[in-house]
Chains A and B, each alone.
Chain A
């Protein structure tokens, strides 16, 4: 298959620009011509460009500075051919200095014959044909560093996606909403299960997942639309011709509006279940669909986005994910400046984040600045990123040796104890690619590693070569048959860990029931190390920590941790009695007995046989009563002395 080369012409002289564009187009190449350096850079990031032609004298800037300060930081010499052009500065010493500084392939003195320019654009090698542009998953995250993205571009980025990590899905949903998409997003899991999300005019109208557990009853009870007394008698009658929702409406136990709200929440929970620590394949097909009710609009989705980032995405994934921007300064976008809100709970944990981001810091600098757990900071940053409030400036900062050493140490830490197939997974996360394409992953990973310079310290060189060779070996390994065997062994080991975790989990639950909180917490930590994604773990930890906090020397820190744990509860767990129970304990520990009582009552409404909740209600109720009688007494005494 013949393939065109992509050429950029960065030139403000319209005549030169037009004639070069026409000549290259005639020769069958794809040409992007502009007078703006930022647009050229944006194009370079999006496409695999063969040659960049740059005029030395650009409006308000120097073409030489643009190449040395910006382009070469991303595309070092050898990775992109550059041809410099000038009609004004043509003396030999200037040409020589320019070639040396920019690493350019050539220098064209204006005016020139078109043939002279054409000779720099050669036919691409056959191997380059396969990937004519940036890898689709990489392109998805490059939206973070784009100046402006049109709805068509957003749609095309998603249409181009194939394999992604399921943790990318919240961002995909949000982009489809922003692009006002209408059609079906089909998702195929690693095991081959097919799920789907239907969009109409940028709203989610249906969610189809394999696990069709409705949870509707729990949702309606928790939201206060129903009580279990209303629902239970209807559940007893099986094989009724009408669906339970319709029967509730017919019996005037539920309004159609409340039912729709419940269905909408149910959709959100199903969406939440699509987000897990695994890869999946997706495709989006634009299809003519009508907007129906209930649906999830963008405002509602935004609150879900927050909860998914807080409760579903693992910190180890985020840690590796953010390494691809380790050297990039973050900057608030116009959308971010306009729409920043302090109220999302993750952002409440980081007061002053907006101001910190305005001063263009790196991820590493932000983490160092706040006295909050790295987990919360990375989640908050990911949330603002996928909301489009923040973007990364890929250029503009030379990484100091110290910073590079820190980066390499972080990568080394990520590599520690990993088998070869696991290393490919880690490299893919760091490089923003997918593990099913190990060669591309390696090349992108090496791009992040950079190069060693002769004046780099020995420590830096040692760790660089160590990581480099581990990455090469892991990639080589994927070509062998042993790779599949190791994959199987890993799956087996993972399964064993899950089983062990499940055993410990049961033990911890028994300890909690017996009020042996310290022991329970230590067992729960074992569970966390074996299977951090096990259901409702954060809730049980919150229970153990809060109930055991009375005797803790640093009680306020423990309660802070509990608050962070509760913030990171996955949305589907928020409909469990233990969620309300844990909040009840937290409020009780903070002395807010009225709120505690409300939460505990909710827990009991969802599960009438939840004994610990029943016990706590008795304790808290007496405190509420005491407080109210104390208040009455104060008011009474106050009343005696009130001036008339």
Chain B
């Protein structure tokens, strides 16, 4: 198991009630740039990167090589999320620019919305985010998707397929298999 996961779950329970604020506020522009301490990578552990506050984040080398988690997030995002949120987290006629949501919501709120879903259905809007809580293709890769969108939302990563990446670490591979039950 990812040793960060228990922290995440605990925080999820606390944050569950707090996320019901207006998502439109999170649509952008982004609150942080790529070098802000809120998002800047401070240390690496088994192929995953974290901020000084121990929150998951992306890491991009000087030559543009990105960490595995960010690359994996690119792949999973364009499988599970882009049919509503558009390519590269850029939003669509259907759903908001989620790349900014990742920057402007904190990690736990973001996690809670993905797991539980949300609805804005009234005379002016028919906007529904489904609950992905029981979808292993999303939940086993949520940290990946989050750090990818964080990289997109802070403009650290340009649109399109990332050019170069580091390989998947053994720990990440093992955690994936445990999560998927394979």
* Chains A and B bind each other: no
Residues of B near any A CB (own CB < 8 A): none
Residues of A near any B CB (own CB < 8 A): none
